[in-house]
Structure 1
Amino acid sequence: MEKCIGRFEIRRELGRGAQSIVYLGWDPQLEREVAIKTLHFARADAKRNEALLAEARSVSRLRHPNLVPIFDAGEEDGDPYLVFEFVDGPNLAELIAREGRIAPARTADLMRQVLDALALAHAAGIIHRDLKPSNILIDAQGRPRVMDFGIARRLDAIDVEKEHVGITGTLGYLAPEYVDGRQVSEKSDVYAAGLVMIEMLSGTPWVKGGTSVSMIHQILSQPVTLPADVSIDNQLAGIVLKACARDPALRTDSAAQMKSQLDDYLGAAATPIDTTETEASAEARKRDTLNFLIRRMKHKTDFPALSDSVSAINRLTRSDKESINRLSNTILKDYGLTNKILRLVNSVHYRRSGGGTISTISRAVIVLGFDALRNIAITVLLFEHMQDKGSARELKEAFLRANLAGCLARDAAREFMARDAEEAYVCALFHSVGQLLAQFYFPEEVAEVRKVMLQKNCTDEIASTQIFGLSFSELGLGIARHWGFPQGIINSLRPLPEGLVKKPTTHDETLRVVAGFANEICASIASVPKEQRTQATNAARQRFNAAMSFSDSQLQNVLEKSFAELKELAAVLHVNLTQSPFVRHVKEWTGARQETPPAAEEAATASALELTVLGDPELRDQSETGEVNAEGVPDAAQDILAAGIQDISNSLVDDFSLNDVLRITLETMYRAMGFERVLLCLREPKTASMVGRFGFGADTSEVARKFRFPLEDAPNVFQLAISKGVDIIITDIDDPKIAGKIPDWYRKTVIAKTFVLLPLLIKGKAVGLIYCDRDRAGGIVIPEKELSLMKTLRNQALLAIKQSM
C-alpha cells in the first residue's frame, strides 16, 4: 500500500532540507499532483505547530500568479505538513547553476514579478523572511513563482519574535538588522530581493559560504557592492544597491516601490540626443539607448526565447567534449526545427560534403562538422522567430538579402580561406542583424528611417542614428555581444571605412572584409535602379579590388551559385520567392533562367508557407509536427528508424568514432518513437556498476549523472535485463505485479512511469544498456516492425563497440 500523508498519496521525494522533506503527492479527491512539505523538529511543540498552521491558513488566502498557493495543511504523527500546487520546473537556483548568469533585462523582469507577489503578501501583513533562489520556482511558462512562506510570521506577531535568540531563515539572505537585533519588516524581504538579483546577474551568491561566524561578519561589516565582473547600466545598479543598503532607513521603502522602479527601468524612454555631448557621453548615451531597445524587445515573447536559444548555442565550443550532445539536444527539442535542419543539410549544397543522405543531427555533425551545424541552427532559429504579420514583406526582403549575402560570402571565402567559409557565412548573415531586428520589433521607427533617407538623401546608418539614437550596425553589434557571439563575428559587424578597402592582415579583418563585400554587392543589387546595377556592382568590386579581387565573370558565377543555394534554403523554410522584388532584381542582374515555367513555379510554391506563419503548428505539414497514430507512435517512425540504420551503416564504413555511432543510435530511437528520454548506460569495471553516460530528451544530463546501479544488485527489472540479456518493457512501474521489482534508486531519479530496457551484451556479458521512457503510464507501445528496427539499431551499436575494443 502506498504511503499517505493525510488524504494525499506519496509518489516520490522531490528534495529535502535540515528540517523538511518535499514529496510529489497525489490528491485522489481532486485528481491532481501536489507538492507536500513535511516539517520535523527536534522537540515537539504543539503551540509552534498551531502557530505554523495558522500562518499557513493566512498564506492560503493569498492569490497571485507569481505565488505558489497552499492547498492544505495539517499534522501527521505530530509533525506539521503543508500542501502546495506542484510546479513542474526548476527553481531559480537551478536556473542560475545551469545558465551561469542571467541577462540584466531578464533579471529585472523576473524580479519585478517576484516583488509584485511580495507586495501582495506585505499588504496582507505577511513577510516571507526566507526569500532566496531555491524558494523561487520557474514554471513551464517561464514565470517565477514564490513559495515557502512556511517560516513567515504575521506583522502583528513580530514583537513575540524578539523572545527567540535563534536565527530563522537562510543566513546568506538575511538583512543586517535581523542578524544583529532580530528586527523584521517588509524591508527584510526587499534586502533579500536585492541579493537575489546580484546572484542572478553574477552567477554566485553575494554572501559567500564558510562558517556562520564569517558569514555574519560579512553581513554586518561589509556594504553590499556589485561584483567587478558584473556590467550593468547605472539605473539598474542603483535599484539593486538601494535595495541592499545596510541601513534600513536608506533602503527602498517597499517591495511595491522596488517593483515600480524595475517597471520604469524596463519601459524607460530613450535618452534624447544632445548635439553638444562629449565623445564619452555619446558612448554612454548609445549604451543607454541600446539597453532601452533590448528592454523593449524583451517585452515581445519572441526575443527572450530567441536570445536564450542563440546564447545557449554560442556557449558551445568544439573544445567542450559534451558540446555535440548538448547542441543536438538543443535542436531536437523543437521537432519542426529538427526537420528543417535535416532537410537543409540534405540539400544539393550540403550533400556535396558526402556521406549520403543524413537523417540524424548527430550524423550531420560528423559529416558537416560542428561549426557548420551550429551556424545552420543559429540561422534557422533567427528566422523562425520572424513571424510578425505587420511587416511581412519587408522582413522577407531583409531575410532574403541577408541570406544571399551569407551564401555569397561563403562561396567567395572558399577562394582564399576555405577552412573558415562557414564562419564567413555567419559574419555576412548577421552583418545586417541590427536592421533585421529593428524591422521586426520597431517597424514604425524603421518606416521613419526610410522617410529620413528620402528627405535628406542620406544612408540608413545616418538616418537610423537620427531616429534610434544609434545606427543599425551599432544595434547589431550590441545584440551580437548580448548573444555571446565570438569576438571575430562581432568585429565583422563593424562597417568598413569609406574609400578603397585595404588588404586585410589578420583573420578577423579578413572576415570583416568578406562580410562587407558580400553585403555591399547585395545592397547594390537590391536598392539601385535596374539600369544602374551593373555600374553599382562594378564600383563595389573596384572598392574591394586590393583586398579580394573578383572579375566580372567570377562575380557572376559566384552570385549564380549563391542564388541557387538561397533558393534551396527558401524551399526548406517555406519562403515563397515568386513575389520578391529582391529576387527579381538578382535574376535580372545574373540573367538567371527559371528552371521551370512561371506557371509551374507558381503552382509548386502556391502551398508554401510565407515567413509570417513559420512555427504555426496548424500550418505545418505532418513531417514537421511529428503526428502520432492511435498507438502513440509517430507516423514516420519506420522511416526514421530505417534512415538511422543507414546513417550508422555509413558511419561504420567511414573512420567512425564510437561515440558518434552511439549518439546516432540514441537520437534515432528518440526521434522515431517519441520517447521523453533515451539514455545510454555503460559498464564501469572499477565499480562493477552500470553508469549513465549521455542521452536525448528532458533533463538527460542531470538524469545521466544520477543513473547508476550495481551489476550485482538485488533482483529487479534492471538486473534481469542485463543478467539475462532480455529486452523489457515496463508499462506501469506502480502496477502491483511489478512495483516490487522497481528499485528505489530509480524512483528517486526519474519521474517516468513506463520505460524500455535494451541491454547491450557481448559474449553474454553486459557492456551497456539503452534506456527509453515516457512519463505517463501505458505511454509506450512498440509495434512489431518498429521493435525489429530498434533491435537492428541496438545490434549496430554492439557492432561498433566490438570494432572499437
Structure 2
Amino acid sequence: MLSKIGRFELLRKLDESKQNTVYLARDPHMEREVLIKLLPNSDLPLDDLLPQVRIVSKLQHKNIATLLDAGEHEGTPYLVYASVNGTMLSQQLKSSQPLAATQAAQMIAEVLKAVSYAHAQGVLPLDMQAEHIMIAEDQTPMLIGIGMAGFKTKNQLTQPVTPYTAPELSAGNNATVAADIFSLGVLLHELVTGLPFIEKAKKPTAFGKVGTTPQSMQIHLDEALECITLKATSKAPEDRFADAETMRKALQDYLTPVKDEHKHVDAHSTMDFLLRRMRSKSDFPALSHTISEINRLADDDSASNNALAQSILNDFALTNKLLKLVNTVTYGQFGGHINTISKAVVILGFETIRNVAMSLILLDFLQNKAQASQLKDDVLSSFFAGIVAAQLAPSSHVRNAEEAIICSMFRNLGKLLASFYFFEESQQVARLIEQGDSEDKAAVKVLGMTYNELGIGVAKNWNFPPRLIAGMRKLDSNKIIKPNGELESLSLTVNLANELCTIASNGNITDKSKALKQLTTRYESALSVSEQQLRKSMEQALDELATRARVVGINVTQSQLMSRVNSWIGARSEPLHKDNEETELAALGINLEQADEKGNEPLKPDSESILTEGIQEVTNTLIEEHQLNDIMQMVLETMHRGMGFNRTVLFIRDAKNNQMAARFGFGQEIDTVLKKFRFGLDFTPDVFHLATSKGADLMLEDITAENVTAKIPQWYRQAVSSQSFLLLPIMVNNKALGMFYADMEQANSMQVSTRQLSLLRTLRNQSVLAIKQKG
C-alpha cells in the first residue's frame, strides 16, 4: 500500500478508477495539503505530458483546482493540485440518490463557466466526467484533472473510451469543443437519473433536430431539461450546442423559464421597462446596489467575512436591525449575545446572514413607502408566508430555515414591485382577477408575464444565486410529485406556505377545515404534512412574526390582513405578549426600540455601550474555540461602529516583505485604501514608525498643525485626505506585530474621551492576548 508519492505523504484515498487514483496528501516542503492524481494507465511518459501540463497549470478560475506540479513515481506520471475540501462527484454518484433536476442543472451550469474559460485558453478536450469534478464543502463544483487526456498529434485522443467520450473521438477524429459538450450532456443525464447513458431511440427535440433518447429517463426529468440533454448528446457534433456558453444559457433559461415564444418579446419589454423605471427612482439604486453586492460577496469564493460585514455596516439602520434580530429567541440555540456583524457571520454562517440581511432590506424599502395600504399588506403577507415556510422547513427536510424565509418572501417580489412601480397596471390585474381570471393569466394579459416571472427577472438582476431563484419559482401545475432532493423540497415548502397564507388571509373561517384538507391532499404525495401541522405552523409563525415585526418597525396590530389571519387561525388576539419577549431580551442587554411616530429611526446607541458590549463579546469568544482573524475582526468592527470613525483599519506586520501592511478594515472607499496602506519597517522619522517602534498610542487631531505636518509620510497623504487619525500599536514582547488605525475626514473631528480611549485600549489589549494565545 502506497504511503508516499515523490516527496508527498499520502493521507487517504479519495477516489479510484481505471484511469486514475486521487489522494489527499501532505507536501512536507510547503507544509500544506494537496491533491495527488496518479495516472497509472497513461499512454504517455511525463516528458510528453509536460507541454500540456504547463498550459493547464496557467488556468486560473474559481471552479478549476489549480495544477501546482507534476512528476513520476516508479514510471507512473502524477499531477499535484491545490487542496479542495470536498468529495469527488463520482463518489457522490455511487453513494447517494440522483440529484433534483434543478440542482443538477445548476451544477452543470456552474461547470460550464469553467469549461467556457478553459476553451477560451485553448485547452481541449477537457475529458469531462464525474471523476474529474470535486464538490467542495460549500457545494461549489471544482474541476480537477481536466485537459490531461493523452495526445498524439492534432489533438487525437489516446485515452481509453468511456461513456462520456463523444462518438467522433471514439472514431479517432479530432477533438473539438463539441466533444466536451457531449460529455457534459451525458453527465447531466447521469446526475438526474442515477443511471448510465445508453443510446436507445431516436426522437425529435424542441430544437428541431433528431436526437438520441438516453435509456430510462426518470419521471423528474421534464421535457425542457430532456431537450437540453438530447441536444448536448446529439451524435453529430454540429447538432450540439455551439459552445459551452450557449449550453449554459440554455440551462439558465430552464431554471428561470418564459412560458411561450409570443410572450417572450412582451416579457422582455416589461422587464426592461421595470428595471429602467426602478433605476429612475432616487432610492432604488441604493437598494439594488446593496442587495447585488451582498449576493456578489456570497457567490465569491475569495470574499471574506470582513467584506460581508463591511457591506452591511455601510447601512446603520440595517446593522442595528440585524443585530437585534439575531439576538431574539429565534436564534437562542446559538447562545450568548451577539454584538458585532463579524461575530454573527462566524456563529450563524455567511449564507444565513446574507439571507437575513436581504429580507430586512426588502422589508425596510417597501413597507416604509408612502403607498397604498394594499402594498403594506402585501409586504406583510409575504413576510408572514416566509416565516410559515421556516416553521414547515424541518418537517419538509429543508435544512436552512432562513433560506425558506427569503425564497418565500421574494417569491412575491414581482407583485410587490408591480404594486409600487406599476400601480395602475397592478390595479388592472386585480380587476381581471375579480372578473374570474387567475392571477397568472391576468398578469400576462396586462404585463406580458406573470408576477413570479417578473420577480425572478429582478432577482437575477440582483445577482441572486440559482438556488434561491429555483426556490422562488411558483408551481406551474396542480400535480404535485414527490421531491427529488432538498432543493425541490425547498421549492415545495415555499409554495405550500404561500398557498396556506393565501387561504388564511381570505378569512373564510367556515371553510377552514375543508380548505386545510384540500391543501394537505394536494401536497400529501410530496410532503408529509397533516392539518394539525399546518395549524401549528401558523400559530408558531404568528409568535415569530410579532418578534421580527417589532425589530423592523412593522405594527402588526394595525394590519387588517393580519387580523383576518389571526381570526382564521383562532389564535389569541395579541400574537405574542410583548412584555415577556422584551423582558427576555432586556436580560441580554438588548433593547427593541420603536421608531417614533414620524417613522424616524431610533437614536444611535451611545458609543461607550457599544464598546463595552464588544469587549464582553471578545472576552467570551477568547475562552471558546476561535480563529485569530475572527477576534481581530470583532475588535476592529467594535471600534468602528462604537466610535463612528470614517475608516478603521488593521495593519499586520509582513516580515517577508519587511513592511507593515493593511489586512482588512471598514469605512469609506476601504477596498482602495487597503491597497495603499503599507509602509516599510526600516525606521524613518514619521508618526507611524514612532508608534510602532516605541509602542506609543498616538491621536493626531490635525495633521496640518505646524508641529505635526513634517512627520506625516508622503504615502499617507497620497492614500487618503483624512486630517485626523488615531494609532494603537499591537505590541507583543516589545515588538509591533500590528496596529489599529482610525481616522476622521476633518481636522479636530477626532473626539475621543478619556473613557472611550480606555475602552479602545482594552480592545487593543484583547487582540494582543489573542495573538499570544495562538502564538
Letter of the 2:571 partner, please give it.
A
SS in 2 for 1:322: coil
CA drift of 1:664 comes to 0.7
Q: Matches of 2:392 and 2:575 in 1, distance apart?
A: 28
Q: Matches of 2:674 and 2:362 in 1, distance apart?
A: 31
Q: How does 1:11-90 map to 2 (within 5 A)?
A: none
Identity, in percent, stands at 38
Q: Matches of 1:569 and 1:689 in 2, distance apart?
A: 47
Q: Does residue 706 of structure 1 match 2:687? A: no
The counterpart of 1:370, out of the listed 343, 350, 357, is: 350
Contact 1:733 1:739 in 2 (8 A): yes
SS in 2 for 1:546: coil
Q: Does residue 301 of structure 1 match 2:294? A: no
Q: Does residue 342 of structure 1 match 2:317? A: no
The counterpart of 1:311, out of the listed 292, 301, 306, is: 292
Which position in structure 2 is the counterpart of 1:497?
476
CA drift of 1:490 comes to 1.4
CA drift of 1:387 comes to 5.3
CA drift of 1:351 comes to 2.7
Which position in structure 2 is the counterpart of 1:569?
548
SS in 1 for 2:731: strand
Residues 279, 379 of structure 1: CA spacing in aligned structure 2 closer, same or farther, 3 A cutoff?
closer
Residues 608, 695 of structure 1: CA spacing in aligned structure 2 closer, same or farther, 3 A cutoff?
closer
Which position in structure 1 is the counterpart of 2:429?
449
| Deviations, residues 139-173 of structure 1 (Å, cap 9, x unaligned) | xxxxxxxxxxxxxxxxxxxxxxxxxxxxxxxxxxx
Which position in structure 2 is the counterpart of 1:544?
523
SS in 2 for 1:391: coil
| Deviations, residues 260-304 of structure 1 (Å, cap 9, x unaligned) | xxxxxxxxxxxxxxxxx9942322221122212222222222222
Q: Matches of 2:736 and 2:574 in 1, distance apart?
A: 56
Which position in structure 2 is the counterpart of 1:763?
733
Which position in structure 1 is the counterpart of 2:533?
554
The counterpart of 2:307, out of the listed 309, 326, 331, is: 326
Q: Matches of 2:304 and 2:267 in 1, distance apart?
A: 35
Q: Which moved more, 1:363-372 or 1:287-296?
A: 287-296
Which position in structure 2 is the counterpart of 1:381?
361
Letter of the 1:515 partner, please give it.
V
Q: How does 1:283-682 map to 2 (within 5 A)?
A: 283-317=264-298, 320-354=301-335, 356-386=336-366, 390-455=370-435, 457-594=436-573, 609=595, 619-623=600-604, 636-682=606-652
Contact 1:314 1:484 in 2 (8 A): yes
Q: Which segments of 5 or more consecutive residues in structure 2 lack a partner in the other structure?
A: 1-242, 247-257, 584-591
Residues 779, 293 of structure 1: CA spacing in aligned structure 2 closer, same or farther, 3 A cutoff?
same
Letter of the 1:638 partner, please give it.
E
| Deviations, residues 547-570 of structure 1 (Å, cap 9, x unaligned) | 112122222222222221111111
| Deviations, residues 430-466 of structure 1 (Å, cap 9, x unaligned) | 11111111111122221221111112x2221111222
Q: Matches of 1:598 and 1:406 in 2, distance apart?
A: 21
Letter of the 1:305 partner, please give it.
A
CA drift of 1:542 comes to 1.6
Contact 2:507 2:565 in 1 (8 A): no
Q: Matches of 2:358 and 2:334 in 1, distance apart?
A: 20
Q: Which segments of 5 or more consecutive residues in structure 1 lack a partner in the other structure?
A: 1-226, 231-276, 624-634
How does the TM-score come out when normalised to structure 2? 0.63
Residues 507, 662 of structure 1: CA spacing in aligned structure 2 closer, same or farther, 3 A cutoff?
same
Q: Does residue 772 of structure 1 match 2:742? A: yes
| Deviations, residues 617-659 of structure 1 (Å, cap 9, x unaligned) | xx22213xxxxxxxxxxx6011000110111122212211111
Q: Matches of 1:487 and 1:311 in 2, distance apart?
A: 14
Letter of the 1:551 partner, please give it.
S
Residues 608, 534 of structure 1: CA spacing in aligned structure 2 closer, same or farther, 3 A cutoff?
farther
Which position in structure 2 is the counterpart of 1:143?
none
SS in 2 for 1:424: helix
Q: Matches of 1:488 and 1:349 in 2, distance apart?
A: 24
Q: Matches of 2:646 and 2:447 in 1, distance apart?
A: 45
Q: How does 1:181-220 map to 2 (within 5 A)?
A: none
How does the TM-score come out when normalised to structure 1? 0.61
| Deviations, residues 734-778 of structure 1 (Å, cap 9, x unaligned) | 111111111111111111110000000111011000000001011
Residues 499, 695 of structure 1: CA spacing in aligned structure 2 closer, same or farther, 3 A cutoff?
same
CA drift of 1:360 comes to 0.9
Runs of 4+ in structure 1 displaced over 6 angstroms?
227-230, 596-601
CA drift of 1:358 comes to 1.1
Letter of the 2:262 partner, please give it.
S
| Deviations, residues 675-722 of structure 1 (Å, cap 9, x unaligned) | 000000000111221111100101122211111111223111111111
Residues 476, 777 of structure 1: CA spacing in aligned structure 2 closer, same or farther, 3 A cutoff?
same
Q: Matches of 2:577 and 2:351 in 1, distance apart?
A: 37
Q: Matches of 2:578 and 2:740 in 1, distance apart?
A: 51
CA drift of 1:228 comes to 12
Letter of the 1:407 partner, please give it.
I
SS in 1 for 2:338: coil
Contact 1:477 1:490 in 2 (8 A): yes
Residues 762, 658 of structure 1: CA spacing in aligned structure 2 closer, same or farther, 3 A cutoff?
same
Which position in structure 1 is the counterpart of 2:690?
720
Aligned length: 513
Which position in structure 2 is the counterpart of 1:792?
762
Residues 689, 405 of structure 1: CA spacing in aligned structure 2 closer, same or farther, 3 A cutoff?
same
Q: Matches of 2:370 and 2:694 in 1, distance apart?
A: 62
| Deviations, residues 369-394 of structure 1 (Å, cap 9, x unaligned) | 11111111111111221156553421
| Deviations, residues 317-351 of structure 1 (Å, cap 9, x unaligned) | 27634332121111111111111111111111123
